[in-house]
Amino acid sequence: MLRVALVGNPNSGKSTLFTALTGESAIVGNWPGVTVELRKGLCTIEDQQCEVIDLPGCYSLLGTNPDEQVAAQFLERGDYDVILNVVDSTSLERSLMLTLELTDLQKPMVVALNFFDELQKSGATIDTAKFSEILGVPAVAVSAVVGFNLPVLKEALLRPRVPNVMLLDRTVENLIRTSQKDSQLTRFSALHQIVNNGSALDDVFSSLDGVHPSEHIIMERYRKAHEVASQVMTKLPNKWAVSDLLDHVFLHPRAGIPAFLVVVYLVFRIIFAIGQPLTELAAAVVSYAATGLTSLLPNGLAKNFINNALFGGVGNVLSFLPLIFTMFFVVSLLENTGYMARASLIMDRWLSRFGLSGKSFISLILGFGCNVPAVLSTRTIDDPVERKVAAMVIPLIPCSARLPVLTVLGAALFGSRAITVVVFAYVIAVLFSLVLAWLLRHLAFSKVPSFFALELPPYRRPSLRLTFKLAWFRSRDFLGKAFKVVLPLTVVFWLLMNLPPNSSVENSFLGLIGRFLSRTLLAPLHLNWQVSSALVFGLVAKEAVLSSLGQIYGLSGTALIEQIGRQFTFASGLSFITFFVLYVPCAATVGALRKEVGTFWTVVQFVLQIAVAYVGSLLVFSLVSLFFK
């Protein structure tokens, strides 16, 4: 099987091309650093099976961020047959620096000159034949979004070529030859060695006028890239005209921040204006199906199971799919226009007070979708301390799995103005995550200043078809989780609720656990045993809290909402919401966190988060009872 590795700068369209070639799902967004992990997919070219591997973007193979190292290590291991170098043809000169570095690997290669549609619109052209001749590899002008020239690219993948050796200046070439003589290294490894051990070679230093060899090599590559680019490109593309107009508003000294707030407000409004009615419709369908089906069944354990566990549990969660989908749709739309990068810029200064930078902003926003990819996305943050802090505060951000529970609680407490409660929960969560970030940055880690450098892409018109697909990819995880995680949990919950046999719910194992918790750990929060036992299941997945509540009260839809409403006073309700939003990361997030920050910091995070939730909800309880008697 032919293994094709997609390598290129961040935001050069690798994942878009990956999706176009394989039809597999991959997340794309118009900002650098979307992909942080390997992703594989299959495609067939002229009866030949190919495996395509999507890699995180990198500016160089010597980069030190974890996402760049994923790419570099993959290329060094050599588990591939062809390098497909994806180049942003509207930034040819810069992109070529990586291309030149790739030629040093001396592996079969093909270059895809992506964004050709934008290049043509900007009035510039690239002489692909000449380009291909200079580098000695096939080069194809493509557009991954439009699908332009993809068949030609596919065909080219079957006849890749080992690139020409792109010679650098005499000093560097001499150095390469010396280290190759000493130890039979490939050109790439020799360069690597020079870069890494450069400081040890004093004579090298003096021959370069005191410039560090690694810097000298980059400058040489740039000189070469410039040379190649000016040979194949007629004129420089002018791609900023439209973006300048938009940025005039979105990055305006005075209008920029209000514009940001308007965008956030609109996002909220759209999600609820469209998602809420659809969700109510879905809930009605679920309860209709439940009553219809259960009326046919004889009374007994089976009926109890179907009614409670399936409809009350999983059904309740599933009815929120429309809301979740709408949310992902709107966020994907935002990501693919390029506004995300602007928002991160606007927020940078503000976040720097809490020891984070604009880069963390993007990760935090992703957290509203799902905490797991958000934690992984911190890999692209340059500053290692900030990377850790961001990863550790993300679990406080209310993910889409918490949204259904919040919506139900909101409706229970506030009726039609449920959205107020959701907004309240979001504000609380953001507030506490910033406080936690500040604490971590200033107390746990030394006070290193944060760093912010982000490539700003031009604004792009997002394709509705692709946005739809993206929203679907992400909602599919929600759907999958409802069956793979929530369903088993619901079964466990149901068993605990019905064992030992013939006992009342209150005296079941579940009742025991719930009562124990509500009398001890959760006693200060005034939570009853039903709610306490539901919270336990949120440790695994947050949606499970809703399915558990549905089961324990044996209700779904509006009946459930009314029932919950009766369980809380205003103060205890808000305090419970605060606790629920903050209390612990779900099992999957803990796993991701361990991967990124290690076991020790994961344990610290877990303890801290429970503490924050505790303090937060007590605070809310006493404040609210003080003001609303």
| Chain residues that interact with Mg ion, rule: CB under 5 A | 14-15, 34-35
Task: Closer to other proteins by CB, 315 or 457: give it.
Answer: 457
| Interaction residues for other proteins, span 143-172 (CB under 8 A) | none
Tokens coding 174? 């001499």
Helix spans in 84-127 (H): 92-103, 116-121
For residues 425-452, one letter each, b for 16 or more C-beta atoms within 10 angstroms of the residue's C-beta and e for the rest, the string is: bbebbbebbbbbbbbbbeeeeeeeebeb
121 interacts with other proteins by CB under 8 A: no
Stretch of 3-11, 385-393, 399-407, 526-534 contacting ligand GTP, by CB under 6 A: 3-11
How many residues at the interface with other proteins, by CB under 8 A? Answer: 45
Stretch of 156-164, 214-222, 362-370, 481-489 contacting other proteins, by CB under 8 A: 214-222
Please, which residues have CB within 8 angstroms of residue 224's CB and are 6 or more apart in sequence?
Answer: 96, 100, 166, 168
Among 93, 127, 133, 562, binds other proteins (CB under 8 A): 93
Residue 286 in 3-state DSSP?
A: helix
- Triad 111, 113, 115: Cα angle to 5°: 150
Among 59, 115, 250, 553, binds ligand GTP (CB under 6 A): 115
66 interacts with ligand GTP by CB under 6 A: no
For residues 265-285, one letter each, b for 16 or more C-beta atoms within 10 angstroms of the residue's C-beta and e for the rest, the string is: eebbeebbebbbebbbebbee
**Distance between CA 424 and CA 575 in Å, rounded?**
11
Stretch of 243-251, 325-333, 389-397, 486-494 contacting other proteins, by CB under 8 A: 243-251
Greatest distance between any 2 Cα atoms in the chain: 91
Among 175, 324, 346, 437, binds other proteins (CB under 8 A): 346
- 148 forms beta bridges with 143
Among 4, 7, 11, 361, binds ligand GTP (CB under 6 A): 11
Among 90, 91, 99, 143, binds ligand GTP (CB under 6 A): 143
**Distance between CA 482 and CA 490 in Å, rounded?**
10
Q: State in Å, rounded, how far the first CA of the chain is from the last one.
A: 71
Stretch of 249-257, 264-272, 286-294, 413-421 contacting other proteins, by CB under 8 A: 249-257
**Distance between CA 112 and CA 94 in Å, rounded?**
15
* Residue carrying structure tokens 């979004």: 145
In the complex, least distance from residue 37 CB atom to ligand GTP, rounded to whole angstroms:
10
296 interacts with other proteins by CB under 8 A: no
In the complex, least distance from residue 350 CB atom to other proteins, rounded to whole angstroms:
8
Among 67, 118, 247, 477, binds other proteins (CB under 8 A): 247
Among 8, 237, 313, 538, binds other proteins (CB under 8 A): 237
What kind and span of H or E run contains 82?
strand 82-88
Half-sphere exposure of 301 (CA within 13 A, CB side): 8
458 interacts with ligand GTP by CB under 6 A: no
**Distance between CA 183 and CA 158 in Å, rounded?**
34
**Site residues (CB under 8 A) for other proteins?**
59-60, 62-64, 90-91, 93-94, 97, 212, 214-215, 218-219, 222, 236-237, 239-240, 244, 247, 251-254, 256-257, 341, 345-346, 348-349, 352, 357-358, 382, 449-456
**Site residues (CB under 6 A) for ligand GTP?**
8, 10-16, 28-30, 32-35, 56-57, 114-115, 117-118, 143-145, 336, 460
